Structure 1
């Protein structure tokens, strides 16, 4: 007789493993299916965590190579040990994946090792062994979107997975796609000595970001040495003895040109991944963008089968998936799980960082909503000056009549950390004056948030 569970989650990425832990905490007999040798999915194994490890290491190299002397620290000989840097990345990944395995054991979550396949409502096969569950949750994440004419081999034409495993610094890396992944990995290799050219189909970086911030971001990266070819598309790639020859043409059409590179990083986006899961056979419906279609309670059209994270609509962010995992676990336990999709922050972990939450000016204009803007530059922040990190600004958008904070956008040092204060304020329906009248420690970067809130009503103090 097959073993039975209250909940089986397929996929152990941030959405899946957090969902499994929360379900187990709530007393549900829980199992999580994972085919990798380690838990954590793309994020912990080949995505968020290893990329942040490499970003931190390369940032340290950049600091000691170019900026320590400004602080009176003179280093006579600097050498890059890329093998050690890669090894440290592996250690960070291992610590995180082992941590999830520990949490599974602590919370009595069963790890079903192997590839999962849905046999129908209440039935899952894992490498041929059948299991039963009252509820099945799909959390299989996403994969890199391929680009026609550019065949990935993860050696010279790479996705983010191969881009994290390079064993030498390229002379010239071409990044196809001016989004988060491309700019983060481009930053890693640029800091370590590569010339980096970013080719982007649109006329701005990081689609969906506030355009004023996007333009400022482009200026900062250009100052750092990035080269950009905006409004340009890649139509083909040919491998050569020295690397890759790309064929480009204007997005609107026109004369073609070629561009040579040692390494090409394809980072044009990600798409829902559910290969081999048996969705069609189970009768699970997809939406017009090939994502799993769910209702407001994460239920598919098949009773007892749910989906969360990158496989459904919404931003492909680990923390969004985590919140959905908690919400569905609580719903299945008879509680009222909830995710506020208006308050999901997004971060680009370059230096400076770029972070945003809520509405952009563009979306507010499209809605016809009246709003006020408060901005404050890091050049006027004492802590940023002490850090020699004065690029960027904080921008807060508030309702013209009620002063409710509708969105915020930051480019600057530790923007990803600073945005959390504004996200918390928005979650509680705060006004810009609520933020402005909250005492902020001095000297801190967070004072720039307070000053931007003051600036909404034209009363910033330090500019």
Structure 2
């Protein structure tokens, strides 16, 4: 009875235990179902509290006014007591990298898991790259990391980085290069492989070129999704796209003054880019 329950539970995760194999579509479906269920639960929770949800694009006109409306549709303006910006972030893609969401992908697209590459190059060895490395090596991919700084997982505490490398990297025999950054990534075209040109981070000299037919994941980091918010309308500057806030998450303008009724939480402010770091 217990064995049957375990098999049923594993099947819900897209896993089968008859032989050592996995169901790729089952894994994707499980991830999508979790995201859909979470989204639905949050939506229902907000509606139960009396929150009106408008699916649209918004532009801030003043600390208490927002213009919204989809392209080609009439625009509307709403007035409210306070505005909280929770716009989130998008994958950061540096100059010189072409992304086609097929062979050169970001972390957002990697979640769809449309195929399992035999060999994947991951640009950036932080927690995003590490997470997808763990997934893909478990599913059978070979992984090569490319890190611009002088050590693997450079933004982690040194001891945590050593532990993660010992547990998650060394057993998988993952190849990685430090002190190198990608100056250019060219997509697969006319049957030709992906070309990754590697440059020495200190001397800026070309050091190596990687060619692969499968996939490259750019996992350098994420950038705030603040373009088009209209913050310039209220004299708020966004250095590197981030919205400046104080310890209470209230937005400050270009002169450092608090903007009344206007707040920003989540990835888009200058705090930690974590969902729970408000």
Q: Which TM-score applies when normalising by structure 2?
A: 0.83
Per-residue CA deviation, residues 121-153 of structure 1 (Å, 9 max, x unaligned), is 211112111110111111111111112111111
Aligned positions of 1:173-322 closer than 5 A = 173-220=120-167, 221-240=169-188, 241=191, 243-253=193-203, 254-261=205-212, 262-286=214-238, 288-300=239-251, 301=253, 302-320=259-277
Q: Give the C-alpha shift of residue 255 in structure 1.
A: 4.3
Task: Give the distance between the partners of 1:290 and 1:97, measured in 2 at CA.
Answer: 26
Verify the 8 A CA contact 2:198 2:208 in the aligned structure 1: yes
Alpha-carbon distance between aligned partners in 2 of 1:84 and 1:242, rounded to the nearest angstrom:
31
Q: For the Cα contact (< 8 Å) 1:173–1:195, is it kept in 2?
A: yes
- The alpha-carbon deviation at position 278 of structure 1 amounts to 0.8
Equivalent position SS for 2:185: strand
Give me the whole-angstrom Cα distance separating, in 1, the residues matched to 2:262 and 2:215: 42
Q: Secondary structure at the match of 1:318?
A: coil
- Match of 2:98? 151
3-state DSSP of counterpart to 2:60: strand
Structure with higher RCO (Cα < 8 A, 6+ apart): 2
Hey, what's the Cα distance between the residues in 2 that align with 1:160 and 1:213? 22
* Maintained 8 Å contact 1:160/1:265: yes
Residue 243 of structure 1: CA displacement? Answer: 4.0
What value does the CA root-mean-square deviation take over the aligned residues? Answer: 2.1
Structure 1 gap ranges (5+):
1-55, 65-74, 325-463
- Larger helix proportion, structure 1 or 2? 1
Return the index of the structure with the highest Cα Rg.
Answer: 1
Report Cα offsets for 1:315-360 as digits up to 9, x if no partner: 100111xxx3xxxxxxxxxxxxxxxxxxxxxxxxxxxxxxxxxxxx
Alpha-carbon distance in structure 2 between the residues aligned to 1:243 and 1:116: 41
Q: How does 1:9-158 map to 2 (within 5 A)?
A: 77-127=19-69, 128-158=75-105
Task: Show CA shifts across 1:191-221 (max 9, x none).
Answer: 1111011111112233332212212322331
Shift of the 94–243 alpha-carbon distance from structure 1 to 2, 3 Å rule, reads farther
Shift of 1:274: 1.0
Paired residues, number: 251
TM-score (norm 1): 0.51
Unaligned runs of 5+ residues in structure 2 are 1-11, 70-74, 254-258
2:149/2:178 contact within 8 Å kept: yes
